[in-house]
Amino acid sequence: QRCARQQPAPRPRRPPGQRTSRHTLAHGDRFEIAAYVMVFVDKDGAPVPDGPDGPAPAEQEQRQWTVLSGLLGGSAESKRLQALFEISQAMEASTDFRAVLHKIMEKAVSIMGAERGFLMLRDLSSGELEVHVAIDAQGEDIVGAEQDTTSGTVMRRVMETREPVNVMNAMSDEWGSESIIAHSIHSCLCAPMMSRDDVSGVIYVDHRSRPRAFSQDDFAFF
């Protein structure tokens, strides 16, 4: 990461790769993460000041430019960014593996307004998926038989293809399997969890009261 404060006076840029543990963002600050250059502004609609290399490009060119408006703002983009930041903090701070998994699913369910969330890991001996985290919309643990009311059809497809799936209408001819109909699942998202070249499990959220519950932005975040 590289940080350069633009106001009230420019600071020398930090050398590439230098670790930054804490930095209070001011309007116009820029920082680079991989191929992204992010610009912090105080609020939506505020003009973005010129950077050290001149004005910010009007269109995406060699790099992708992203404007962050107050991390405590109410926009969906800000909430998603804040959720990812909190997840990364939990992964660094906690030695409790299940607590980290629980935190990930809490954020996924909360941000997307899902009714339930499941994190399944593949058993190394049997190859079968086992529930490690199952929570409802309030973040409470789902226990007992309720854990078995997910769509095995969707999860198997994700495991086999290694591609995420956004089921917008689970009652359609494509997805209307016995398990989906029996458990009244209308919408769901499912994504593979990769460990190097192997699928180690899946994360899954669903909604059992309405179709098209999740947008393409939800899918991309998931």
Locate 17 and state its tokens: 């790769």
Q: For residues 183 and 151, give the distance between their C-alpha atoms in angstroms, rounded to a whole number.
A: 8
What confidence score (pLDDT) does residue 202 get?
Answer: 94
Under a CB-based contact definition with an 8 Å cutoff, are residues 147 and 130 in contact?
A: no
CB 134 within 8 A of CB 115: no
Confidence at residue 135, expressed as pLDDT on a 0 to 100 scale: 93
Reduced to 3 states (helix: H, G, I; strand: E, B; else coil), residue 111 is helix
**What is the model's pLDDT at position 162?**
93
Which tokens sit at 21?
């543990």
pLDDT along the chain (222 residues), means of 10: 48 62 79 71 70 57 56 64 79 83 88 90 89 91 77 87 87 63 79 89 88 84 82
